[in-house]
Amino acid sequence: MNNDKFALPFYWNDYEDIAMSLYEKFGDDFTETKIYRIRFTELLEWVLELPNFKGTREESNEGHLEQIQSAWVYEWRDNQ
């Protein structure tokens, strides 16, 4: 999906798309416990670097980052 030039852009409230992209990027390097221990400052940078992510730093907030973390855990679980 990330390499597809026709992929749709996604934004802060597209938690599942962000989670899938993070899982594609990091795979099983992060377990459930490790995902929940990621600092929000790090997570923010990783999300901003994702291909097709069009949100801005200013639009982010703690609620978005919490939802992304949870969605990433569910994505990780689904792939185990």
Question: What CATH number is given to the structural domain containing 50?
Answer: 1.10.10.600
CA distance 20 to 76: 9
User: Is the residue at 19 inside a domain?
Assistant: yes
Q: What is the pTM of this model?
A: 0.89
Structural domain total, the chain: 1
Q: Quick: pLDDT tens for 42-65.
A: 999 999 999 999 999 999 999 999
Q: Can you give the residue range of the structural domain that contains 46?
A: 11-79
- pLDDT tens string 1-24: 445 667 789 999 999 999 999 999
* 4: in domain: no
- Work out the burial of residue 6: count CB atoms within 10 Å of its CB; fewer than 13 is exposed, 13-18 middle, 19 or more buried: exposed
Asked, for residue 2, whether it belongs to a domain, the answer is no
In a domain, 1, yes or no: no
